[in-house]
Amino acid sequence: MTAPAPSDLASRAALFAALVVMGAGWGITQPLGKIAVSEGHRAPGLVFWQLAIGAVVLGLVMALRRRRIRWDGPAMRVYLLIALIGTVLPNSASFEAIRHLPSGLISILLSLVPVFAFPIALILRNEKFQPVRLMGLLIGLAGVLIIVAPGTSLPDRAMIVFVPLALIAPLFYALEGNVVARWGTAGLDPIEVLFGGSVVGAIVALPIAVGTNSFIDPMESFGAPEWALVASSLIHAAVYTTYVWMVGRAGPVFAVQVSYLVTGFGVFWALLILGERYSLWVWAAMAVILAGVLLVQPRQRTALERAGETGQPSTP
């Protein structure tokens, strides 16, 4: 067998390094979200600025690519759908959940996207039934039960009522990926979808933020929560763009492995930045959930189709 050329080894090392950086970047957005809600900011205002900042960053990417954005009927339907089920609804739930739950636990539960995606794929006939993936689904759900069942799994048992709220985001991300796989994106590439979805989502979120009196005026104050929101939005836009590049460069099967790194780094950053500590039950749940995710991972075509979604790394 011929040994890989030095250039091939360097290329592989660079791809693995990029994967780690992506996982670290996406993973840190959960602790940053925890900081963003720490002084009373509510979900509608946070979601608006998250989308607005993302739209600006991705608009610059579109300008560098010299791509003109489409605003025709089919494109607008895609943008609106992606904005609602890819950001406005799931991120609103996540911001509210992270007000009450540990950041690391949110990261663990977000890894359930492929677990939720499997039954949705069966309903929409995107996938054929596979016993191994059903086993992964059951194992993943068992991990959730480990979190909610024992009396010592959460710092405060009152938190248990917010666990279903934390499951809304991975459920919507799973739905988003399946919708994209089933009906496509009207010929738009992932960056175009994310940019258009961010613009439309910001337009939808603004009146909600104003109407609920949760709009965040950056001129009033700019402390740790506001900086955390800006950092999280910038990191997500940058890492997602890198993810799209990696799908094309290394393939979706390789790129989708970032899901595991996102969970691991999310827990690590929560330990380091927020000083969170977890019971053995939570660590056991993390191991069980990730085992389930491994078994239920999508086949290559579906992973590639899901590269166009806006939220989390394929997984969706």
Q: Give the pLDDT band of residue 294 (cuts 50, 70, 90).
A: confident
pLDDT for residue 7: 59
Asked whether residue 315 carries a pLDDT value surpassing 60, the answer given is no
Residue 22: band (very low, low, confident or very high) from pLDDT cuts 50, 70, 90: confident
303 pLDDT band, cuts 50/70/90, is very low
pLDDT of residue 103: 92
Q: What digits encode the pLDDT tens for the residues 123-161?
A: 888 778 888 888 888 888 888 888 887 666 677 777 888
The full 3-state SS of 127-171, as one line of letters, equals CCCCHHHHHHHHHHHHHHHHHHCCCCCCCCHHHHHHHHHHCHHHH
pLDDT at 302: 40
CB 62 within 8 A of CB 115: no
| Average pLDDT in the chain | 83
- Give tens-digit pLDDT for 159-177: 888 999 999 998 998 888 8
Asked which of 40-49, 75-84, 127-136, 161-170 is least confident by mean pLDDT, the reply is: 127-136
Residue at 246: amino acid letter: M
Residue 151 CB contacts under 8 Å (≥ 6 apart), including other chains: 157
The DSSP code sequence of 187-226 is: T--HHHHHHHHHHHHHHHHHHHHHHTT----TTT---HHH
Q: What pLDDT is stored for residue 307 in this prediction?
A: 40
Say if residue 79's pLDDT is above 90. yes
Is the pLDDT assigned to residue 5 strictly greater than 60?
A: no
Q: Which pLDDT value is given to residue 6?
A: 52
**226-270: pLDDT as tens digits:** 999 999 989 988 887 787 777 667 765 676 677 788 888 999 999
Torsion of Cα atoms, 253 then 194 then 190 then 251, to 10°: -20
More confident residue, 67 or 47: 47
**Whether pLDDT at 306 is above 60:** no
As a whole number, mean pLDDT of residues 195-202 equals: 94
